[in-house]
Amino acid sequence: MTLRHKIGQMLHCGFHGYEPGEDIARLIRERHIGGVILFARNVRDVRQVAAMNAEFQRIALEAGVPPLTIAIDQEGGMVARLTDGVALMPGNMAIAAGGEPQAAYEAARVTGEELRALGINLNYAPVLDVNVNPGNPVIGVRSYGESPELVGEYGVRAIRGLQEAGVTATAKHFPGHGDTDVDSHLDLPTIAHGRERIYGIELAPFVRAIEEGIDAIMSSHIYFPSFETEKRPVTLSRNVLTGLLREELGFDGVIMTDCMEMKAIADHYGTVAAAVLAVEAGADCVLISHRHDLQEEAIEALVAAVESGRLSEARIDESVERLLAMKRKRGVTADAVTTAADEAYYAGEAFRSVGSREHRETARRISEASVTLVKADAGTLPLRRERTLVIGVQAVAVSEVDESVDLPVTLGQAIAAHGVEVEERTVALDQVGANAEELIRLAVQGGFRQVVIGTYNASFRPDQSALVRAILDAGVTPVVVALRNPYDIKAFPDVSAYLATYESRPLALQSAAKVLTGVIGAKGRTPVTIHPDYPVGWGGTFQ
């Protein structure tokens, strides 16, 4: 391989469109990139995804380029690029609320089988961040919980499930994004704890992952002053990537960066310049998810760094050897990827398993086990089959990693399916305050026997908390369902009943409705402390 061939292998690039356009095709043919990244913007349906990925591999094969890593963020729950036509699994915190570590394995194994059937061979998952900060704006329910032991246990099961299905697992965000109050998509966070605390909390799940044989670890764009004297994020820190992860913890797999267009990098260092700094620090694979010009410029900057002597070609060789070994380990070989997604492929067992009844049944079982009843005053639940007002806050992307949230099923519709007479009002996240007066009047004067409110990250949204409080102060005792962040109850601990679903995907809404109407019992237990009165492991039932 020439120098340019090798450096190309160190880039994973995003693109726009539902098929390989000229920009991304040229990056494969002429720049020899090692992989592509899929986002929701690249997904129309599962058949299109399979055909697109087969076309990507055909382009690589004809160009004499090693088979591509085709990667995606399919964490489950609120962070998933594939949502329709697949068995979308609950997210990490919902899985952990179910109390069965084996569920993490099952969810990951099904996810891996479906990804592989669509031609995707790398998942940027699982999240191994320990969510010890309730104010964390970007991790939250993407974490299994606040205990490093629990996160490690569930995390290694997920790793096993993905990798047994032939999909590379990527533990993220090393050495831990769980105690930040800044989203690294938007700025550079700092975690100022001492080393002893970081080893005991943040690093512990990653140590378990390394022992499990994780294929890849993704670095975080966070500054850890305990490990780095210069104000550099982990992604650009040789002390952390090489000194800590490689040498001290003994990780010999692939080190990947998070996207280099995130503002923690782009605004402080520049995406292109930082690509070279990341490789100097010890990264093997650089992710640039959006802009084609930055992808081209980063490749040229890395070539120039070697030609000038700033980086040695031996250093490049180390990374490329790891990347190619990772592909071979997961069966990403020319022989394995030459099957085109033609009619015969679509009729085959692997493709037909995508979104199958068996896989969806696994998702349903895990979801139903996750619903957590935090409190219920006597007589509030199950809901009576009487006239009921359901107020729902529309789920939206609350961080850049979320992309979009479609709700083909609402909470009110899910409840009505069990015989409750429902009148529903759904309000956009940014319109709660503007609609509050009307919603309060309806709840108080509308003649409803029951009021159910679905909140969405109310702990971050004072207007939602004010709405619930105003309805309470007016003498109405609503049932509140937290449709993402379970910490919402801190703002209104005196509600008559409170459930946590950890996500607002249709399956979670249907599971919550079954609990609310008494079709199934509440089995979940909180994996985090959501209030001083409701510690880790809290959960109840109602009579």
Closest to 420 measured CA to CA, from 393, 381, 394: 381
CB of 247 closer than 8 Å to CB of 279: no
CA 139 to chain centre: 8
Amino acid in position 525: R
Question: What local confidence, expressed as pLDDT, does residue 399 receive?
Answer: 66
Query: Above 80 in pLDDT, residue 397?
Result: no
CB of 260 closer than 8 Å to CB of 275: yes
CA 383 to chain centre: 33
Q: Name which of 17-31, 106-120, 331-345 the model is least confident about.
A: 331-345
The mean pLDDT of the chain is: 94
Query: Above 80 in pLDDT, residue 160?
Result: yes
Q: What percent of the chain has pLDDT over 70?
A: 96
Question: What local confidence, expressed as pLDDT, does residue 343 receive?
Answer: 82
Question: What local confidence, expressed as pLDDT, does residue 184 receive?
Answer: 63
pTM: 0.96
Task: Decide if 258 is catalytic.
Answer: yes
**SS3 helix, strand, coil % of the chain, rounded to 5?**
45, 15, 40
Q: What mean pLDDT comes out for the span 25-52?
A: 97
Q: What mean pLDDT comes out for the span 120-129?
A: 98
Question: What local confidence, expressed as pLDDT, does residue 404 receive?
Answer: 61
Amino acid in position 50: A
Domain boundaries, the chain: 30-346, 371-516
CA dihedral (438, 442, 443, 444) positive or negative: positive
pLDDT digits (tens, 9 = 90+) for 311-351: 999 999 999 999 999 999 999 988 766 566 678 888 899 99
Query: Above 70 in pLDDT, residue 183?
Result: no
Q: Spell 239-264 as b/e; 16+ CB within 10 A means b.
A: bbbbbbbbeebebebbbbbbbbbbeb
List the beta bridge partners of residue 127: 172
CB of 283 closer than 8 Å to CB of 257: yes
Query: Above 80 in pLDDT, residue 104?
Result: yes
List the beta bridge partners of residue 390: 424, 452
What CATH number belongs to 371-516? Answer: 3.40.50.1700
Question: What local confidence, expressed as pLDDT, does residue 260 receive?
Answer: 96
List the beta bridge partners of residue 531: 534
Query: Above 60 in pLDDT, residue 543?
Result: no
pLDDT digits (tens, 9 = 90+) for 223-269: 999 999 899 999 999 999 999 999 999 999 999 999 999 988 999 99
| Structure confidence at residue 138 as a pLDDT band (50, 70, 90) | confident
Question: Which ranges of 165-312 would DSSP assign to H, the alpha helix?
Answer: 195-200, 204-212, 238, 263-266, 271-281, 292-307
User: One of 258, 284, 292, 531 is an active-site residue; which one?
Assistant: 258
What CATH number belongs to 30-346? Answer: 3.20.20.300
Question: What local confidence, expressed as pLDDT, does residue 505 receive?
Answer: 94
Q: What mean pLDDT comes out for the span 75-99?
A: 97
User: One of 12, 177, 185, 292 is an active-site residue; which one?
Assistant: 185
Strands 11-14 and 285-288: parallel
Residue 438: burial class (beta carbons within 10 Å; 0-12, 13-18, 19+) = exposed
Q: What mean pLDDT comes out for the span 515-523?
A: 97
Question: What local confidence, expressed as pLDDT, does residue 333 receive?
Answer: 86
| Structure confidence at residue 299 as a pLDDT band (50, 70, 90) | very high
Q: Is the bond leading into 382 cis (omega within 30 degrees of zero)? A: yes
Task: Decide if 473 is catalytic.
Answer: no
